[in-house]
Each structure stands twice: as C-alpha cells, then as structure tokens.
Amino acid sequence: MSKDVVSPPLGRGTRNAWKRKFLERAIAILLFLSSFLSILITAGIVAVLLFEAITFFVDVSFLEFITGTRWTPLFSSKQFGVLALVAGTTLTAVLAMVVALPLGLLSAIYLSEYSPDGVRRLVKPILEVLAGIPTVVYGYFALLFVTPILRGISGDIAVFNALSASIVMGIMILPMVSSLSEDAMRAVPRNLREAAYALGSTKLEVSTLVVVPAALSGIMSAFILAVSRAIGETMIVTIAAGQNPSFTLNPFVPIETMTAYIVQVSQGDAPAGSIEFKTIFAVALLLFAITLIMNLLSQYVVSRFREEYE
C-alpha cells in the first residue's frame, strides 16, 4: 500500500491492523515450523537407514547385493542377492496393477461420465470405505478365500503364491485408483464436454477423446501412487505370498517381497548388530530409493503430460 493512504481517524483501526499483521506473522512461522519438522523427521529416518546400511555394505559388497539373485541371509550359507526380493516385489506389484488399472479406469469413467447421480452418490463413499479396510483383512481374504479358488482351478498353484496376493492387492488398490481418477475426470470443465457434444460426439467419444486426455495428469498420478502403494504393501504379501525369496516371475509359486522380508526379520530373533539384522536396513534403503524414484517419475510425468485447461 502506498504511504498516502489516509489512516483511520481512530486508534482502533490502527491497533487492529497491527494485531492482524502480528497474527499473520505468527501463523507463517507456525506453518514453517511444522513443515520443517516433517522434513527433519524424514531426514532422520534417511540418516538412520543410511548409517545402518553403510555398516552392512562394509561386510557385503554392494555389487553382490545389487546383482545377486539368491537371498539367504538367514541360512548358514549366506547369500545377499537382493534381486530375489526385488523380483518378488516387482511381480506382485505388476500383477496388482494389471488388476487395478483397467478396472479402476473403467469404473472411474463409468462413475464420472455415465452413472446417474444417485448411483455415484452411493458408490463413491463405498469406495472410500473400501480403501479404509485394514490390509491384514485383505491378507487373510487372499489366503483363505482366493487361494483355495485358484488352487481349485489349477493344481500347479502352491498354497502360498504371488498370484493370489496380487489379485487381492489389486482389489485393495482399485478404490484408490478409481476414486482419484474420477476426481480428476470430474474436474474437467463442463464446457469442454459441451464443445465435444456440440461437434457430434457420442458419450464414449467425449469420455475417451476429451475427458480422459484432459484428466490425464491426474489419472497418471493416481496410477503412480497406486504403484507406490503396491510396492510398499506389506501385510497381504506377508500373509499370502510366502517367505521364499526366489528370482522368478512365476506367479504360482511362493515368493518373498522386500517388505515381507523386513517383517520376517523384525519378527524373528536376529540379534541387533548381526549381519541378518543389518540386511533389513539395506533392503529398506533400496525400497525407499525405489519409492522415491517413483515419486519423482510421477512429478515428471504429471508435468510432461499436463493438458491444462484454463
């Protein structure tokens, strides 16, 4: 504001202005501190991971860790090829996405473009409730319900297998993909839809040629968030996929993911400071790095594919 603004004739106005200014400052500082705190905590976690992981890599060569395909730290002949765990994580995450992406996108298109308002108002909250079911429930659902069905279909499928866990993980992620994609699609302005209809588009053409492309950055970030979620998912794979690190893409046999391995060692009695114990930090650091890369990728993709409206 310029200097020659007439000041209020009474002291009251000035005092209020001063109070407002003070409040603004205080809030800014508070907000800064809370964001700083969360950064600090993250930095602390990374520091601990790094520190423990470095002591691990004093004993085990990084090259062996990152290229080896056999993972047997809990046996007497120890091998530290983390690719066996990475394969398990990749396999379950990819299969889960195969379930969640198409179904999630289709249901989002249905909810956003096709469903009558009543249906949408009913389904949306249900989706959000589904997203809140504890994952341990999904885990037992996989083991006790889906696995027997799969084994009924094919005798080749083991009791613990990647397929069952992945299918259920996909079902678990589905509401999130659907709900976030639907939000992105509904945010597409109505006048873009009208423009397409006025050119003679059918509903399907409006959905696929206008709404989905315009919402693509939101849909992409929903997808990538879902992938991160699948990579980090722990309970379902721990319960239903087995504890057998194997460098395989066969979904019918028991495997072990990075997360499930961390659970296994944390639950067991590996003494603190032992090499078995340190492995979990190395694995956790790798998991952290992968998730970080996914997030960076998501940001890049979102900015790259953004079809801005307005």
Which residue lies nearer to another protein by CB, 142 or 196?
196
CB of 43 to another protein, least distance (A): 38
Which residue lies nearer to another protein by CB, 156 or 307?
307
Length of the chain: 310
For residues 271 and 219, give the distance between their C-alpha atoms in angstroms, rounded to a whole number.
45
Task: Please tell me the count of residues contacting another protein according to CB under 8 A.
Answer: 22
Helix boundaries (H) for 187-257: 190-198, 203-205, 212-214, 216-232, 235-240
Q: What is the contact mask toward another protein in residues 111 to 130, using x (rule: CB under 8 A)? A: -----x--------------
CB of 178 to another protein, least distance (A): 23
Binding window for another protein (CB under 8 A); candidates: 7-15, 82-90, 275-283, 302-310: 302-310
The DSSP 8-state label assigned to residue 158 in this structure reads -
**Burial degree of 131 (CB within 10 A; 0-12, 13-18, 19+):** middle
Residue 17 corresponds to which tokens in the numbers above? 């202005």
CB of 38 to another protein, least distance (A): 34
CB of 207 to another protein, least distance (A): 12
Helices 117-130 and 162-186: crossing angle in degrees, nearest 10, is 140
Which residue lies nearer to another protein by CB, 78 or 186?
186
* Residue found under tokens 């009208």: 194
Which residue lies nearer to another protein by CB, 192 or 294?
192
Q: String of b and e for 207-244 (b: at least 16 CB within 10 Å)?
A: beebbbebbbbbbbbbbbbbbbbbbbbbbbbbbbbbbb
* Residue found under tokens 């995450």: 93
Residue 275 touching another protein (CB under 8 A): no
* Residue found under tokens 């990819």: 94
CB of 112 to another protein, least distance (A): 15
Which residue lies nearer to another protein by CB, 214 or 258?
214
Given its phi and psi angles, is residue 188 left (phi above 0), alpha (psi -120 to 50 degrees) or beta? beta
CB of 214 to another protein, least distance (A): 5
For residues 178 and 103, give the distance between their C-alpha atoms in angstroms, rounded to a whole number.
8
Which residue lies nearer to another protein by CB, 115 or 291?
115
User: Segment 130-149, which members bind another protein (CB under 8 A)?
Assistant: none
CB of 46 to another protein, least distance (A): 38
At residue 71, what are phi and psi to the nearest 5 degrees? Answer: -130, 100
CB of 197 to another protein, least distance (A): 6
**Burial degree of 149 (CB within 10 A; 0-12, 13-18, 19+):** exposed
User: Segment 180-239, which members bind another protein (CB under 8 A)?
Assistant: 189, 191-192, 194-202, 205, 209-210, 213-214
Q: Can you tell me which of 2, 9, 12, 308 binds another protein, judged by CB under 8 A?
A: 308
Which residue lies nearer to another protein by CB, 4 or 117?
117
CB 102 within 8 A of CB 251: no
Which residue lies nearer to another protein by CB, 197 or 252?
197
Residues near another protein (CB under 8 A) are: 116, 189, 191-192, 194-202, 205, 209-210, 213-214, 307-310
